[in-house]
Amino acid sequence: MFRNVLLSLVICLFAAPVALSQTGSLTGEVTDAQTGETLAGVNVFIEELEVGDVSNVDGQYVIENIPTGEHLVSVTYVGYATIEESVTISEGENILNFEMDVDMVGLDEMVVVGYGERVRRDVTGSVSSVSAEQIENTPVTTPEQLLQGRTAGVQVSSASGVAGGVVNVRVRGSSSIQAGNQPLYVIDGIPVTTGETGGELGQRTNALADLNPGDIESIEVLKDASATAIYGSRGANGVVLITTKQGEAMDRTDISVNYFRGVTDATFDWDVLDGPQWSEVYREAFDNYSLLTQGEVIPGFETFMDYPEVPDADEAPTYDFVDESFRTGTLQELSVSARGGDVSTRYYVSGTYHQTEGYIIENEFQRLSARLNLEHDATERIRVGANVGLTRTMNDRAPTDNLVAGTLTSAALIPPVVPIYQDEEAEIYNFANPWNIADNPVAVAENNQYSTNHWRVLGNLFGEVRPTQHLTLRLSGGLDLLNSDDYRRYSELTGDGAPTGLGSQNVRETENWTVTATANYSRTFEDVHRLTAVAGTELQRHQRLQVTAAGTAFVSDLFPNVASAADVLDYTSFVDDNFGMESYFTRATYTYDDRYTIEGSARIDGSSRFGEDNRYGFFPAGAVAWRISEEDFFDIDTFTDLRFRVSYGITGNDQIGDFQSRGLFGGADYANLPGLYPSQLANPDLTWESTYQFDIGMDAALFEDRVSLSADYYHSRTDDMLLPVQTPYSSGFQNVVQNVGSMVNQGVELTLETLNLAGEFQWTTRFNVSYNENEVTELVDGEDISAGLQRVREGEPLGSFYLIRWHGVDPETGEAQWLDKEGEITNDPGDGDRVIAGQVDPSWFGGIENSFNYRGFGLDVFFQYATGHDVYNDTYRFMMTPATFNLHTDYMDRWQEPGDETDVPRNVFGDLADDATRASTRFLEDGSYIRLRELTLSYNLPHNFTEQLGIANARLFVQGTNLWTSHNLSVGDPEGSADGASGNLDRGELFFTPPQQRTITGGVNLNF
């Protein structure tokens, strides 16, 4: 027995070093398959072992201490096709060289389309994508910002620069006058609640800010009818498909830790007069007014008009409210995620905290988010899973967006001789303002409270069964639950809250349920016939409950809840909105020999929003594609791929509110008794807005896939637009919504991607440009629709400015001059002299991005631009109106004596000043701009260094956003004009909108 044990120990002793020595190394060279040049910076990695190397300047790589046996080696490099090759490692040195093919096109990559996925080479519709790489390298607050300037045909503008503010998106122009123009957003197959929330006091926030961009794997934008018709009545404005990250089968758990921190400030400032300048202008305005009205200059005439007297210019103090209202803000984000799984169960889990302290005082946005995406193969034919995201957002904001009483409005307009503090050392604010322009904005921001808080659950559960190899049946149920709490509290120290405080609270709960059942079929016959098809049904239920309450007479700021108010105000309200939809859809795609593709789709939607006789709508589409580069007769070596595609289809727009087709009643009191009154006429014939869209496109790859080109021309016509039609006075109503009117959009889109240099130094370019032309073709009885400074008119674009034409200043008298309807000079124009003078939407827009990589260093430079549109600068108009306001520094160039050549009329107070600043083309400015949207410098640490730290990959980066802008506005940010408080009819008007944030951040991305 003892001899046996001893023998076993001896055998083990000698066997141990043999076992330990059973490792080998893998070495080789990586080259460009076409040029033969060595490639530096290529990632050669054995994922299951978490070991790898990056090729050096000579293209050489070495991976040591690899256990003997079979392993899967992955080779990746930007702009080249990924290589995955199985290799058997033996003891000692193993040599394996790789030749990489350029791949700027990605024809074999999967693209998410409606209710499924498709290989890109088979996609017949117009689809733009934002890649995972672009998402990973672009820290943003909201998902829409990832699309800005990167996707052809998609116009994105942040309407406000405050953290968590509204973002506007248009796909191929505006397709409706009164209904919504925002695209449909679908996250992991769930149509989600979008738009804006918290509308009180202009403090509108973005509902999509609840989604953490770091959890996004890919974004696809469906633009033409072939791609969007399967979404039927919700597809007219385009569809944005967002897919979150999923688990993967691997031998380890991939853990990512990402952190960035930085500072933020405003891209632009308001140039206002200081105390001495304003005192000079103020006195001069009253002197000129007395001269014109009394025949002589009367010193101190302002006091006769009950306005305060001001110090002499050389004695006037300066208090800078603009400077006090701005600050250098901060932003930071920490995210941790884990991705992994095995052949049967895969998972992705993440948690993120984001905080932005905005550049405006008392503006802060915070987001806490968590996500769990899980898939499990119960058997070879059954799969179940869940995608669940939970988010908490907290948005504190002083009044800012397009408000007369907003923080920035007050800061710019309060006379600079008004003190900010009664006692600056004790920081006791001054609330006295003899001109009664506005409350002290600094005091209002710091004493009042404005907050919007969200809880959101977005998730779905699904199950899949594969009865056969080619057929997959799927059932999913999704929920988008949004709880929102808007709170406003006005201190008794401020004007709105005096003398005992004022508070209001708006609580909303929005539930959006979706149940979808689909059958997907995919099969290839005889290697040349490829057929994919999907059919399904979907049920959706949307409900919104909203309660608003307000009160005054609070005992103390320590008890801010509305319930503690002594007096509850009478505008307390309750809202219960809901709608339902049932849908049936199908799509089939057939491809022959990778050359010819034909596709057809159709959807039937039934919606409770429309009358019983028009509740169901039918939305078909068809497309064909021809890959001419696969034909035997095509022998042009320049092209590695060339394909033409054509599509036509019908989509709808149901964004009209929930009860437009029904007769409604409202509650009222009469003689202290409750009663009802009819508040809306019924229209049972109300139906969808329908958009008919034609698209012809071309996709090409040239020069061994080093150049990728995609071009589209589209023409879309929207009929049966929903517009208010005047009713007879005898009806007791002003109007009723009917299906009347038409509008056309047409344009071109071009996307170009090039690999300019390959090898150790790599340079790639992504460029896109879009042109859109809009025309209103039919209105009710051909009559214009008046919309403030704009006019909707047949033959003109939606959002046409309707203004008197400015003709400058008479150099002899200093009087303002305009042109009348006939083009003659006049000093007294009327409303009848207004003409169509400009348009809101840009004709051309897009972006260009250049990426440079060298030995682990990366530099990304991204510009975004828009041109061919106008902005009515109401901010500048207010700041050029001599009254009790503070003024823009341009006002110092005013006319003062005969012979002065200037564009600023004489300085005079009262009605004469108001006449000079009436709405005209004087304040209509070119809205064109080009902006350095992002500048990123990064460095990937060498693998041989990070491996010693137990880190698989490490990337350091510094990024700046909105660092430089070239534009033509006198004041303000050109993007701020995109917002429209009433929807589509008053966009393009800039009124003290907070400019965009300029940020500089530094961060690190770690993978373990």
**What is the secondary structure of 536-585 as a DSSP string?**
EEEEEEEEEEEEEEEEE--S-TT--SGGG-SEE-TT-EEEEEEEEEEEEE
Range from 399-408, 468-477, 897-906 carrying the lowest mean pLDDT: 399-408
Distance CA 433, CA 442 (A): 13
Q: Are residues 38 and 140 in the same domain?
A: no
**Which pLDDT score, from 0 to 100, does residue 57 have?**
65
400-445, pLDDT tens digit by residue?
A: 655 566 788 889 999 999 998 887 776 788 877 777 767 788 888 8
Is residue 337 within 8 Å of 256, Cβ to Cβ?
yes
Confidence of residue 166 (pLDDT cuts 50, 70, 90): confident
Does the pLDDT value for residue 894 go beyond 80? yes
Distance CA 813, CA 533 (A): 76
Confidence of residue 723 (pLDDT cuts 50, 70, 90): confident
Distances 963 to 508, 926, 935 between C-alpha atoms, Å: 38, 21, 8
How does strand 127-130 pair with strand 216-222? antiparallel
Which residues are within 8 A (CB) of 870 and not within 5 positions of it... i.e. 6 or more apart? 801, 837, 838, 839, 840, 924, 925, 926, 927, 988
**Which pLDDT score, from 0 to 100, does residue 404 have?**
61
Q: Average pLDDT, stretch 170-174?
A: 92
Is residue 903 within 8 Å of 817, Cβ to Cβ?
no
Q: What percent of the chain has pLDDT over 90?
A: 46
Q: 62: domain range?
A: 2-100
Q: Are residues 782 and 925 in the same domain?
A: yes
- Residue after which a domain boundary falls, among 100, 128, 152: 100
Q: Are residues 470 and 605 in the same domain?
A: yes
Q: What is the CATH number of the domain that holds 856?
A: 2.40.170.20
218-277, pLDDT tens digit by residue?
A: 899 999 999 999 999 888 999 999 999 998 877 778 899 999 999 999 998 889 999 999
**Which pLDDT score, from 0 to 100, does residue 431 have?**
77
59-101, pLDDT tens digit by residue?
A: 888 888 889 988 889 888 766 778 888 898 898 889 999 988 7
Is residue 67 within 8 Å of 49, Cβ to Cβ?
yes
Residue with tokens 């340079």: 763
Q: Tell me, what DSSP letter sits at residue 294?
A: H
- Residue after which a domain boundary falls, among 100, 126, 158: 100
Max CA pair span of the chain: 131
How does strand 800-803 pair with strand 835-839? antiparallel
DSSP line for 20-89: HT-EEEEEEEEEETTT--B-SS-EEEEGGGTEEEE--TTSEEEEEEEESEEEEEEEE-TTB--EEEEEEE
Instruction: Name the residue with higher pLDDT: 678 or 754.
Output: 754
Distance CA 129, CA 850 (A): 17
Is residue 256 within 8 Å of 348, Cβ to Cβ?
no
Q: Are residues 228 and 333 in the same domain?
A: no
Q: Are residues 870 and 966 in the same domain?
A: yes
Confidence of residue 10 (pLDDT cuts 50, 70, 90): very low
Identify whether 50 is part of a domain: yes
Q: Average pLDDT, stretch 381-409?
A: 83
Identify whether 893 is part of a domain: no
Q: Are residues 92 and 125 in the same domain?
A: no
Q: Are residues 640 and 705 in the same domain?
A: yes
**Predicted model pTM:** 0.86
Which tokens hold the place of 238? Answer: 């385009």
Q: What's the structural domain count of the chain?
A: 3
546-604, pLDDT tens digit by residue?
A: 888 888 887 776 777 777 777 777 666 778 888 899 999 999 999 999 899 999 999 99
Rg (CA), the chain: 32
**Which pLDDT score, from 0 to 100, does residue 36 have?**
75
Which tokens hold the place of 282? Answer: 């103020």
Q: Are residues 694 and 581 in the same domain?
A: yes
Confidence of residue 465 (pLDDT cuts 50, 70, 90): very high
Distance CA 926, CA 862 (A): 23
Confidence of residue 292 (pLDDT cuts 50, 70, 90): confident
Confidence of residue 113 (pLDDT cuts 50, 70, 90): confident
Q: What are phi and psi of 918, to 5 degrees?
A: -60, 160
Q: 775, exposed or middle or buried, with CB in 10 Å at 0-12, 13-18, 19+?
A: middle
Is residue 722 within 8 Å of 742, Cβ to Cβ?
no
Distance CA 717, CA 719 (A): 6
Q: Average pLDDT, stretch 167-172?
A: 88
823-874, pLDDT tens digit by residue?
A: 999 998 988 999 999 999 999 999 999 999 998 899 999 999 999 999 999 9
pLDDT, the chain, mean: 86
534-555, pLDDT tens digit by residue?
A: 999 999 999 988 888 888 887 7
Identify whether 904 is part of a domain: no
Report helix, strand or coil for 221: strand
Under the phi-then-psi rule, with left for phi > 0, alpha for psi from -120 to 50, and beta for the rest, what region is 458? Answer: beta
Identify whether 477 is part of a domain: yes
Identify whether 995 is part of a domain: yes
Q: Are residues 146 and 87 in the same domain?
A: no
**Which pLDDT score, from 0 to 100, does residue 1 have?**
44
**Which pLDDT score, from 0 to 100, does residue 673 have?**
76
Distance CA 628, CA 643 (A): 6
**Which pLDDT score, from 0 to 100, does residue 182 have?**
87
Among the listed residues 903, 965, 957, 956, the one whose alpha carbon sits nearest the alpha carbon of residue 930: 965
3-class SS string, 868-912: CCEEEEHHHHHHCCCCCCCCEHHHHHCCCCCCCCCCCCCCCCCHH
Under the phi-then-psi rule, with left for phi > 0, alpha for psi from -120 to 50, and beta for the rest, what region is 16? Answer: alpha
Does the pLDDT value for residue 16 go beyond 50? no
- Residue after which a domain boundary falls, among 244, 275, 296: 244
Residue with tokens 């209001």: 504
Identify whether 234 is part of a domain: yes
Does the pLDDT value for residue 375 go beyond 60? yes
Q: What is the CATH number of the domain that holds 175?
A: 2.170.130.10
Distance CA 879, CA 74 (A): 61
**Which pLDDT score, from 0 to 100, does residue 48 have?**
75
Q: 920-954 as b/e, with b when 16 or more CB fall inside 10 Å?
A: bbbbbbebbbbbbbbbbbbebbebeebeeeebbbb
Residue with tokens 């400019």: 995
Q: Are residues 77 and 204 in the same domain?
A: no
Does the pLDDT value for residue 207 go beyond 70? no
**Which pLDDT score, from 0 to 100, does residue 309 have?**
80
Q: Are residues 262 and 200 in the same domain?
A: no
Q: What is the CATH number of the domain that holds 69?
A: 2.60.40.1120
Q: Are residues 513 and 608 in the same domain?
A: yes
Torsion over CA of 14, 20, 22 and 23, rounded to 10 degrees? -160
Instruction: Name the residue with higher pLDDT: 982 or 786.
Output: 786
Does the pLDDT value for residue 889 go beyond 90? yes
